[in-house]
Structures are given as C-alpha cells and as structure tokens.
Structure 1
C-alpha cells in the first residue's frame, strides 16, 4: 500500500494532528496545536488566533472538529467552540465560561445527536449546544458516576459513551450500561460487522453486538507498541486501527500491518498513529 504523506514540508505547521473533518465544499480540515489547516488537495491555508481580532480563532490549539449544517465547529484547548461559516469564512465564538464561570477545560470531542451538538470536555463532563438558540446546557448522565468520557459514538439513534471501563447507551434522559469490565483500560470502540471492536491500552478486543462474549484478538507478533490502541475507524469491509506502533487493517479475521520504512518513501511517515479519518468519497 502506498501512502501520501503530508508533513511540514508540504505546508503543515506541525506534524501532530488532533482531528480531521471534511466540509460541505469537500475541503479537508485538520486541527493541530498550532492552528487550523484547510487542505484543498494541493495547498494548505492556515487559520490561527490573532490578538484583538474577533474574526480569528479563539485559540490556535485546535482539539477537535465537526462539520454540521454548512458550519465547521472547532473545539480548542481553552474551552471555547469557534464556528466557521463554510460559505463566507467568518467566525463566531461560543465560550463555555459564559455558562459556567469556573469552566477552564479543553474541548475533547463534538458529535451531533438529535439536532444538538454534544460536547465532551476534559474533566468538566458533557454539555449540549442548541445550535438554533445558541444555548448551552450541562448534561447529567447518571450511569457515568463521575467517570470521564473517552469517546462518543452513535448506534441505532442512541448516543454511546465510552469510559475507562464502560460502554453506556443514553438518550440523555435515561441510560443503560451495555458493557463493564474493570480490568480493561478502554480507549476507543466501533461497531464492525456483527461485533464491537474495543480498543484498550493493552490490546484489541471484540464483543458481540449485544456486548457479550469478550475475546482478545491476537495482534501481529513480535511488534512493539501494537497493544496500545488509539483509534478505530470502519469502512464497508475493513476496520482500520491506529496504534502507537503502526496502522493495522483488520479484514476477514486477518491483520495487515503498515509501519514506517525509511527505505520506502511511500510508507507511513510515523508509526505513532494517533488519529484516523475515513473519507466517505
């Protein structure tokens, strides 16, 4: 497999990516700790915070991205969500401190649920944003029991929440613990065919679609750092699995491993795969 690598040599401000998103015009957006990048297939345009300029990012450290209703929602490291109009490229800003003066936490993930944007924060719980009214509200999910959410997902129109030890299904009014195992340190998850893939800091596991029959998958042997799973994305036939030791493809119960090879210019540029994005096109 040939990889096209985009690095600082091609215009990135830095090599570590915090998030990807594709907008309504087909541009690919990338978040970094040094700004927001728009890629048109050839060139990068970089947006950063500019002091005393309200039409710039609130902060250059972008933590997550979401494209919704012709707007790009941009989470950052200081607890603000910037909203970029994808048509005229102007910014609006939503500061969670307006709802909670003590708020001083990074935005971790944004996801759409029932025409609202659910906001996962680093240490300050879950919030919801009514995009029509611009209203913020903190959510109280009883089943979380003060656990921090590692990742959010969707399944059958229900919101799924992953913590260190649990998978919780909720409609924001009631919630159910679908899976719990205090011996695992969960990092990410994704439905895959008739099963659920669970990434952990110590390997990759599967459970049935009913979250039963936990099994650990045998990853390629004698490869360092594969056990720490960072991200899982699924297409029609395969699961793509990011690890701290390379990129895995899982198809028909078989693994293929892709790693950096200095003798091959079209190999991965770095074995530490921290984020994955699947282009629907």
Structure 2
C-alpha cells in the first residue's frame, strides 16, 4: 500500500484529509494567533506534526527525536518502517511556485538541527576548535563533521525505533523510504489566506559540491553554485538545508486551508459538556 509523501504523491482523498486536519486549528485552538479581523489561529509546528501523524494513523512521539513519526509496513514476515521528520516554515516567495520559470530556482527551508553541545563534541573529537571556525579554517573538515553528526543522530533514532516492540516481528527502518517533510506556507494575502505546499525530500542528506565560510556561517554549495546548507556553529549551532523544490520526491500542489467557525473556550465547553 502506497503512503502519501513517503512512497507516492498524495491521492485526492488523502490530500483532502490533510487539509481538513490542518484547518481544524483555525477555529481558535491553534497555538499561533493570526492578525486578521476574526483573530483566527493556525497550527504551530507541533500541531502540524500531529496532523501528519493523524494522516498516517500513528502516534507522534512528541519528543526531540530525529524523526517525528514512523509508519509500519508488513513485508516478508517482518516490518519495514518509513520514518519522517516534519519541518515547517513561512516562505515569503512561496507564491512564485505558480510561475514555472521562477519555480526552478525556488528552494525549501528546513532547519535540521540546533544542538550546539553535540556538534562541538564531535568537532573537538575531530581536532576542530571554536577558534578555527572564527578564523575560517578547515571548511571541508567542519562540513564533514556536521553532516556526520546528522547521520549519527539519524542512525541512533532508527536503532531506537527498531528496538521497540521487542517480541513482535523483526523491524527495519528503510532510510530510502524515509523523508524530511517540508511544510511551507506563504504570508497572508488580502483575504487573509495563506498558501501551503508540502514536499518530501530524502532523509539522507546529499554532499555539497563545495564548502566555504561566509560571515558567521559555514556554507555548502550545490552543483549550481547556490547555497545548499548553512551551519551557524557559533550562533546556536543552527544547521539549515535548502533543497530545490523541483528536486522533491513526492508533493502536493499549492493549497489553502478551510475556514471553520471560530469557537471560544466557553462555546467549546458548552458543545462538549452542556456547560453554560
């Protein structure tokens, strides 16, 4: 059975379900308040993760694991697992997706990690120091270290998933069927609506063609000589990934959310419990 965004593009029914799940958080229950006349709300990153978990019928771990959820597929007497890490971000230029010429240059924005202590432990073990980064020395060695750190973190998360349910059938995480799920959304338009775009990218990060320092960041460049990675090692250790939209595995088209009626806590309590 194909899985939307993991092994295939979403069917209309699955896409409709995702839109409805995301739309429920516009009724006042979303953790982010919109600046519109209705003072509606929208889902924050954790609530977006819950929408995808609901779409796949699984429970999200709600932790800081490398993966946000895992989907099991019975196969040959064992269980093959596709896992996903969900990343959401507002993108000012998302509506450029409608223009084919601009779409070719459009990139997703994924903040992969910001684990300063772990990053620098691995760097120091590799003989790299903060003063080397400040002096813009050893770009390739630093770049290799941060990618290795992500690979180590992913492998640890996969090992943890595989050890769950010890008495069940053998479990194996398939890295080739595991993904980053990018949820990009535009600023509000004149009708206070946002456009959304969901794309999946391989969980195994590609190697850059070239690395160099630019200001406070170590930058990895792709074959187009454009920025693929940024690592701000001395500024929160944010590691960011910018894959081309055209290189996504599976995806939606642009879509908007539905507009449910806003509901206050008093109204919700009355509806659920008959309280007045």
Structure 2 length normalisation: TM-score?
0.25
Higher strand share: 1
Between structures 1 and 2, the one with greater helix share:
2
User: What TM-score do you get using the length of structure 1 for normalisation?
Assistant: 0.25
